Amino acid sequence: PRAARGPEQSLKEAQIRNGGLLRWPRLAPSEDSGCRVTQSAQARRGRRGGIRTWTRRLDPSHPENIELQASGLSELGVQEYVTSQLWDLWYSERGEANKQTLMTIDKGLGNRQMWEAIELRYRELIDEHCGQEDDVRVWTEPANRLATLLFLMGRHAESKTWCERILESKPWHTGALSGVVMVCTKMNDLEGARAYGELCLPPTSEISERKKWIERNVDIAEARLAALEKEKAEVLRKNDDAGDSGTAWQ
C-alpha cells in the first residue's frame, strides 16, 4: 500500500499529477482541438471508447506515448497532450455546439465582475442537460466548472459538494480529484484532503501505482458507462430520431 500522506503533501501531489500540471481550476480545451460529433451510433461508440483509450495512455510506458517521445516530445509534453484529450472528451459529451457554449462562458472567469452571471449560466446548462436531479453523469463539465467558480468565489463547502457529486458519478475524473483536495485544504479538512489525495492519479515517478490506478478506473468507467448506456437506451434512440448528436458520456 502507498504510504499515508499529509494534507500539504496531498495537495502538492494533486498539483503535479495528471501530466505534471495543476488541472483545476483550468481553462477550456483549445478551440481547435474539438472532437467533431456526428449523429451516428458508430461515432458515439467511438467517443465512448475514448475514455478507455486516453485513460490508458496516462501510462507513460504506453507504446503510443513512447512513439511520441521518440519523435522528440518530452514525457511531460506527452502527458499534457493525453490529459488535454481527456478534457476535450469531457467538454464534448453533449456535442460540439454545447462544448463551444461552455468554452465561451469559461472565457469570462478572469473577470470577477462577471462571476455572478457566469454562475447562472453554468447552472442553466446543468438544469438543461442534467435535469432537476442534477444527474451529472449526462454532462459533467458544467458542474465541474461551477465547482471551480465556487472555489474561486470562496464558497468552498458548495464547491466540495459539486466535486463529490462528480466523483460519485465519475471517480476517474482527474480534475475533480485535484479540485476536491484543494477545496478540503482551504477548508482545513485535513482528513478529507488526505483521503482524496490517496485517490488521485499517482505521479509518473510511481509507475506501478499509476498503472494500477489506470486499470482500476478503466474498469470502473467501462462498468458505469455500460450501465448508463443501458439505462439511457431509449433516450438515445429518441435523440437519434431527432438528430441530437450530443449523447455520449465519458
Question: pLDDT tens-digit profile of 3-60?
Answer: 444 445 545 554 444 333 334 444 445 444 333 333 344 444 555 678 899 999 999 9
Spell out the residues 6+ positions from residue 125 whose beta carbon is closer than 8 angstroms to its own: 98, 101, 102, 105, 139, 142
Question: Tens digit of pLDDT for each residue in 185-242?
Answer: 999 999 999 999 999 999 999 999 999 999 999 999 988 888 877 877 766 566 666 6
**pLDDT given for residue 224 in this prediction:** 86
pLDDT for 240: 63
pLDDT of residue 241: 65
Q: How many residues does the chain have?
A: 250
Q: Which is higher by pLDDT, 180 or 31?
A: 180
Q: Are 141 and 92 in contact (CB under 8 A)?
A: no
pLDDT at 134: 83
d(CA 49, CA 107): 29
Averaged confidence pLDDT in the chain: 82
Whole-number Å distance between alpha carbons of 244 and 250: 17
Q: Provide mean pLDDT across the span 157-173.
A: 96
Question: Which are the contacts of 244, defined by CB distance < 8 A and separation ≥ 6?
Answer: 39, 95
Report pLDDT for 230: 81
pLDDT at site 162 = 97
The predicted structure's pLDDT at residue 239: 62
Residue 48: predicted pLDDT: 60
Averaged over 155-172, what is the pLDDT? 96
Per domain, the residue ranges of the chain are 7-18+40-241
Q: What is the pTM of this model?
A: 0.78
| Predicted confidence (pLDDT) at residue 84 exceeds the cutoff of 50 | yes
* Phi, psi for 106 (deg, rounded to 5): -55, -30
pLDDT digits (tens, 9 = 90+) for 105-158: 999 999 999 999 999 999 999 999 998 788 998 899 999 999 999 999 999 999
- Name the residue with cell 452571471: 117
